[in-house]
Structure 1
């Protein structure tokens, strides 16, 4: 039996392995009805592959499938070279101790618990981590932060998600001196966006610093300056043409990736 050691997965290509978190949903397909299925937009895996890595989808195992979710997440992370926390439905506001907004999505407790466990395991091992939209919000919540549940109530416009089911575009300002600025430049950039929630607070002890904002004050990116690569962004690079962020994640994962020895059954 092949036993990959911590720090990545042995694979014939030698490419870094990037895990991508996914959700669960009930779908109809062919003769099947109400089939519980793993759901992840294909553009995430395509973006990781284009950046030069192997994409591995990480669905929630379910809270009854494993006895120790944190330990399971740590075992998964030990076999990765990098992690993407994908976008998706709203995180249950019970995770940050507030009452659910009428326009918030239905809770997905299995996905919330799984992604928080993955995030904490990734931080523990300093695994290169990119959180996208919901993924950035998971990073904040895992560190004790809170969200604004409906940004139009806060900023007075729907600029961040003006049309259902369509990515909008708006400008964000990247702060000088940040890791994000090293990747994208300390400038204003136009990004694909679709979200109605945003990070409201980050406790000082979280280790995170804001690295980009929208002109209305919305936090558009956060990062841990002391980490190898730990960045959360509120926009959707996988839906655009700018490959720099995903390429930076893969470059960090490549530096982490080392040759692995295989232990074979005698």
Structure 2
């Protein structure tokens, strides 16, 4: 068998495995995402203070929750959690104000599966003629099969691209910051890049970026708008990605090991 034939065979085997993982995961999804009270128009004056980033509670919590870095069958509802410095609190129930419900803190990036979103209350604070909305929301999610609750917003995956040569899966993710009273719809920001190795029939976290030096500035991100474009260059096995925002454009290149910002 020629060298070219061997390479072609390995590529075909990899693609077949990747497609099989996708089909299996769609056919056997572990959970269906449900939304409880998606539009709570009983807006109250004031603002919501998140429980999962409470500095005093974080300092008093010694128990750390191990992040999930491998997923055997990528789930359609898969999200990513990128904790702030110092971590985020995860709770045993959706009563996030009870300190006895703290399960521990997550301090490293993790895969997670969101299956229920509780929209509890919308708040609106009016200051100097401007309105600022905040949201009492709770996410029910699973990390390595264990259920936790948090009001820290997961990153949703906006873009996926299989890098055949590197046997990796390249992802772009963002946080939906909400549009006026719509708590988790629109205004995607805080973009991150995550790269996973295709391993043992699943995906293993290989690299996660810091927040990209980029402000999106648009209300929505739709694949049909070609907001995220990419180019793979076979001559040096590099992968270039571009995200076009309202006033800024992010450009980066991934070589299989390192992400370089080009602007």
TM-score range (shorter-chain normalised) is: under 0.3
Which structure has the larger Rg? 2
**Greater strand share, 1 or 2?**
2
Instruction: Provide TM-score, normalisation by structure 1.
Output: 0.27
Alignment TM-score, normalising by the size of structure 2: 0.27
* Greater fraction helix: 1
